[in-house]
Chains A and B, each alone.
Chain A
Amino acid sequence: MSSWKEWIFTTDHKRVGILYLIGSMAAFGVAGLMAILMRIELSSIGPTITADPSNYNVWLYFHGAAMILGFQIPALTGFFANYVIPLMIGAKDVAFPRLNALSVWLFYAGIVLALLTFVIPDPPDVMWTAYPPYSTITRGNTAFYTFTVLTLGFASILGGVNFLTTVAYMRAPGVTWNKLNIFVWCTLAAFVLQLIFVPVLGTAVTLITFDKYLGTHFFDPLQGGDVLIYQNLFWFYSHPAVYVIFLPFIGVVYEIVATFSKNPVFNYKMVVYGGVFGIVAISGVVWVHHLYVSGMADWIRIGQMVTTLMISIPVGLMVIGLVGTLYKGAIDFRAPMLWALGVVFLFLIGGLTGIPLAIPSLTLHLSDTYYVVGHFHYVMAVAGTFAIFGGVYYFFPKMTGRMYHEGTARWGFWLTFIGVNIVFWTMMSIGVDGMPRRYYDYAHFPQFLRAHQLMTLGASLIGVGFALAVINWIHGAWKGEKAPDNPWGSRSLEWTTTTPPPPGNWAEVPKVAEDWNPYAYGQRR
């Protein structure tokens, strides 16, 4: 069995990438199952499948933590970054291949730690945010939460060091900064954010474990501590974390949209220097919008209302760049493009419904309701997942050397797309009417019963849709038609090597023409 050893001990960026993909999809599967369990539980008032609210709380904890830390961040900055970046910049591998292997091992250790939730006697029930004092007094095992976060965070930091170095020093001759793929820029920016902010999260979650197990009092007001410090530290990381998800996923969408429109990215420099750089610049000064009802000083709530609203500028520029790329394109509606256009639509709804949440006076009503849950699923959870699924379809021929089944891919898209709109639109609507989040039961809100049942129905459509995609990949990788080297006719470097790419990617360093760029499609000049 030397072949599985070759995978475990691999230092090849493509295999590391695929390992990241498999691990993050496993996290997505289990966390998705938790979503289904929650939806079934909420389909009636009173106990449905469990009479113990703790079970619901553990499912919700696992769902939130695993979806963000175990699925989206690793799929985007682990799988896509690893598989694609060296190919896009014409490099043989990453700068530190062994560090890369360590990073994926740590990632798997983190996934195993997270999965132990279902084995240990007192699983964490602290939600993915783990606010003290509850996280320091619960019977649940908060230490597992802390160690999961630290392990996954460390894996990501290693990735950050690696990719910043790789892109800075290993670009093929002629691949200049202004010819980098949008995805590469976006991922670099995401890693810059990870390197700056993950240590803050690490500090926060370590201190709750100190408080709980070592008897310190960082967050205990009776002993001179303060409960709000944790929330500030947590969101100081976790708001930028939404850009760690957003940037690479919109980067993937840019690649797909440019290729399937056969058009250059609209106003490339605006997208990079206005959009990507703008987001990095503002991302660290908006976290208080998560604390609008936490009793922070009025001046900082108002100040960060203004900065939060200003996020609309770089994000708006990135949407304009995306829509502009469609203009006068030659648009082909293959499955990856369908998923990518789905992202544009979902992100539009998600982004715009975020505007009321930027305004503290409106948030006094909306905060901690299903409106928030609906909004962030649209803007990040679902838009991001659609981008990941579209991206996997897009790179599938390159990775596996085979084609997926187009019809199944479309069916999966439409089922999922209809399902998410049923679920998350309904969430926003009952949220405005007052339905609070993180509720195991809603006995005093019987008027929401029908809406909850509708969402459970919608969630089953989503489940079937995503399952079709995964089945399609497994079947395609195993039995699909042989794929050509460049099935989509892209100009980007990753498609110039053979399919699937050999170790080292190219026999010799790729040469690019003077007027090459990854989006050099038939421009009139």
Chain B
Amino acid sequence: MFRHNTVLHALAWWALTGSAALAAYPPTGAVNDPARGWDRLWHEVIVDISVLGVIFAAITAWFVIRYRRRDPAQEGGSFKLTTASAVGWALIPTFVFMADDFYLAAKGWALWNDYRSVPAERLEVQLESGMYSWDYTYPNGVKVQNELKVPAGKPVLLRMTSRDTIHSHFIPDFRVKEDSMPGRVTYLWFYPEKPGEHIVTCAEFCGVMHSYMVGKVIVVAPADFTAWYEQEAARLAKQSAAKPEA
């Protein structure tokens, strides 16, 4: 009875959360910030594994203290399991673990969908990584190195590739990274809500100077961004006008 219900619950839970997550897309209106979702899910998973850990540790500690050997000739006194209880001891934990697995999988999948569905209203930037710099190109052709300036309040999508080895564009504050590699295009997005600066650091061993491959995401007020963006665009236009076509 118990086993049966657990599985059914788990499956139902899984199906529900999963389809709810799917039904929520494409998102309407407000931006669903995956970084917030990350913090929430992380917290839940930590509670989940702490409960399991404390239960197992407490039982182990209790056995170890309670059943110390008192005289040297003493032997253990555990019962021989009947077939039914042996099977029960295998199946019940199996279904309990499986229920927890499916529960976490459903949660993880829902958050995954947030991470992978990019809001339509966004700033889209191309990134080419190389030993050892982050080279960004804005839609209007403006290029920057290592310092990505973005307006607050607008999701940013990075389309990434690499010109040499594999790097990984990691922004700890936004709880996101994805590898950039030659011959493939990957993507990630994040939601810079407020003005501020956020470290970008390389998370895939890419060469001797891997630990010095640092950059910044600089979030500025939308008006400041627009001013800067147009000024850079104008400068770019002047440059290419000055240069004769090759």
Contact = CB atoms under 8 A, between A and B. Distances in A.
A228 B166 CA distance: 10
Nearest to A269: B86
Nearest to A332: B69
Interface stretch (B25-33, B97-105, B220-228): B97-105
Interface in A1-22: none
B168 A368 contact: yes
What band does the interface of chain A fall in when counting residues whose beta carbon is under 8 Å from B? Answer: 35 or more
A133 B164 contact: yes
Nearest to B172: A434
B177 A361 contact: no
B126 to A, nearest CB: 15
Interface stretch (B149-157, B204-212, B234-242): B204-212
Nearest to A525: B80
B93 A320 contact: yes
Contacts of A361: 34, 37-38, 41, 108-109, 111-112, 114-115
Contacts of B11: none
B24 interface: no
A323 interface: yes
B98 A313 contact: yes
B186 interface: yes
Contacts of B116: 298
A349 B98 contact: no
Q: In this complex, which of A222, A225, A226, A270 has the most chain B Cβ atoms within 10 angstroms of its Cβ?
A: A270
B89 A320 contact: yes
Given A330-B69, A524-B79, A131 B205 contact: yes
B75 A295 contact: no
A221 B184 CA distance: 8
A346 B140 CA distance: 54
B172 A312 contact: no
A310 B49 contact: no
Contacts of B166: 131, 133-134, 227
Interface residues of B, number: 82
Contact of A331 (B37, B49, B69): B69
A73 to B, nearest CB: 23
A331 B67 contact: yes
Contacts of A344: 60
Interface string A319-345: 110011111111111000000010011
A317 B93 CA distance: 7
Given A312-B101, A367-B177, A439-B210, A521 B49 contact: no
Interface stretch (A301-309, A462-470, A494-502): A301-309
Interface stretch (A192-200, A351-359, A392-400): A351-359
B78 interface: yes
B90 interface: yes
A301 B112 CA distance: 10
B78 A53 contact: no
A434 B35 CA distance: 13
Interface string B168-211: 10101101111101111010100000000001011111111111
A504 interface: no
B183 A362 contact: no
Contacts of B168: 293, 367-368
Contacts of A134: 165-166, 205-207
Nearest to A353: B49
Contact of A270 (B90, B165, B188, B205): B90
A151 interface: no
A267 B45 contact: no
Nearest to A345: B57
B76 A362 contact: no
B94 interface: yes
B109 A305 contact: yes
A352 B105 contact: no
A127 interface: yes
A274 B78 CA distance: 21
B52 interface: yes
B172 A331 contact: no
Given A133-B182, A440-B211, A359 B93 contact: no
A302 B105 CA distance: 8
A262 B168 CA distance: 52
B211 to A, nearest CB: 4
A434 B174 CA distance: 10
Contacts of A362: 38, 41-42, 45, 108, 111
A368 B209 contact: no
Contacts of B111: 359, 361-362
B178 A295 contact: yes
Q: In this complex, which of B93, B107, B199, B209 has the most chain A Cβ atoms within 10 angstroms of its Cβ?
A: B93
Interface in A101-116: none
Contacts of B2: none
15 contacts: A262-B74, A270-B86, A329-B76, A341-B64, A356-B46, A359-B45, A361-B34, A361-B115, A362-B38, A362-B41, A364-B115, A364-B178, A364-B188, A367-B168, A434-B201
Interface of B: 34, 37-38, 41-42, 45-46, 48-50, 52-53, 56-57, 59-60, 63-64, 67-70, 74-81, 86, 89-90, 93-94, 97-98, 100-102, 104-105, 107-109, 111-112, 114-116, 164-166, 168, 170, 172-173, 175-179, 181-184, 186, 188, 199, 201-212, 214
Given A306-B101, A436-B202, 17 more contacts: A134-B165, A221-B183, A262-B69, A263-B77, A264-B80, A274-B90, A295-B186, A306-B105, A313-B94, A326-B63, A328-B79, A348-B53, A359-B108, A367-B177, A368-B177, A441-B212, A522-B77
By Cβ-Cβ distance, the 5 closest A-B pairs, closest first, are A221-B183, A434-B172, A263-B76, A522-B75, A359-B108
